[in-house]
Structure 1
Amino acid sequence: MNIVCLLGSPRQTGNSAAIANHFLESAAKRGATTRTFLLNELSYRGCQGCYACKKKLDHCVLNDDLTEVLETIRAADAVVLASPVYYGDVTGQLKCFIDRTYSYLKPDYITNAEPSRLTPKKLVMVFTQGHPDEALFADIFPRYNHFLGWMGFTDGSLLRACGVGPDTGDAALDTVLREAEELAASLMA
Structure 2
Amino acid sequence: MKKTVCLLGSPRPKGNSTAIAKHFCESVEKLGGEVAIFSLNKLIYRGCQACMTCKTKLDRCVLKDDLTEVLDAIREADILVLATPTYFADVSSQLKSFIDRTYSYLVPDYLTNPNPSRLSPGKKLIFIQTQAQPDENQFDDIFSRYDYFFKWYGFNDNVLIRACGVRDTGEAETREDLMKLAEDTAEKVMG
Q: 2:164 aligns with which of 162, 165, 186?
A: 162
Partner of 1:62: 63
Cα RMSD of the aligned pairs, angstroms, is: 1.2
Q: Name the CA distance, whole Å, in 1 between partners of 2:74 and 2:95.
A: 14
Q: Name the CA distance, whole Å, in 2 between partners of 1:89 and 1:38.
A: 18
Partner of 2:111: 110
Q: Name the CA distance, whole Å, in 2 between partners of 1:167 and 1:104.
A: 34
| Structure 1 position 168, deviation (Å) | 7.1
Q: Name the CA distance, whole Å, in 2 between partners of 1:42 and 1:154.
A: 28
| Structure 1 position 152, deviation (Å) | 2.0
TM-score normalised by length of structure 2: 0.96
Q: Name the CA distance, whole Å, in 2 between partners of 1:20 and 1:149.
A: 21
Q: 1:147 aligns with which of 143, 146, 149?
A: 149
Q: Residues 14 and 170 of structure 2 are in contact (CA less than 8 Å); yes or no, is this contact kept in structure 1? A: no
| Structure 1 position 126, deviation (Å) | 0.2
Residue by residue, what CA displacement relative to the aligned partner does 1:42-78 show, whole Å, maximum 9, x if unpaired? 0000000000000000000000000000001100001
Partner of 2:182: 180
Please say if 1:133 is aligned against 2:135.
yes
Inter-CA distance 110–48: structure 2 relative to 1 (3 Å threshold): same
Of the structure 1 ranges 171-180 and 137-146, higher mean CA displacement relative to structure 2 is found in: 171-180
Inter-CA distance 57–26: structure 2 relative to 1 (3 Å threshold): same
Inter-CA distance 168–59: structure 2 relative to 1 (3 Å threshold): closer
The one-letter amino acid of 2:141's match is D
TM-score normalised by length of structure 1: 0.97
SS of the counterpart of 1:185? Answer: helix
| Structure 1 position 155, deviation (Å) | 1.5
SS of the counterpart of 2:181? Answer: helix
Q: Residues 161 and 173 of structure 1 are in contact (CA less than 8 Å); yes or no, is this contact kept in structure 2? A: no
| Runs ≥4 residues deviating over 6 A | none
Q: Residues 3 and 76 of structure 1 are in contact (CA less than 8 Å); yes or no, is this contact kept in structure 2? A: yes
The one-letter amino acid of 2:190's match is M
Q: Residues 15 and 170 of structure 2 are in contact (CA less than 8 Å); yes or no, is this contact kept in structure 1? A: no
SS of the counterpart of 1:5? Answer: strand
Q: Name the CA distance, whole Å, in 2 between partners of 1:94 and 1:111.
A: 27
Of the structure 1 ranges 148-157 and 5-14, higher mean CA displacement relative to structure 2 is found in: 148-157
SS of the counterpart of 1:74? Answer: helix
Identical columns (%): 57
Inter-CA distance 43–15: structure 2 relative to 1 (3 Å threshold): same
Residue by residue, what CA displacement relative to the aligned partner does 1:118-149 show, whole Å, maximum 9, x if unpaired? 01211000000001000000000111101111
Residue by residue, what CA displacement relative to the aligned partner does 1:130-181 show, whole Å, maximum 9, x if unpaired? 0100000000011110111112222210111000011673576321110110
Runs of at least 5 residues in structure 1 that lack an aligned partner in the other structure: none
Runs of at least 5 residues in structure 2 that lack an aligned partner in the other structure: none
Of the structure 1 ranges 171-180 and 110-119, higher mean CA displacement relative to structure 2 is found in: 171-180
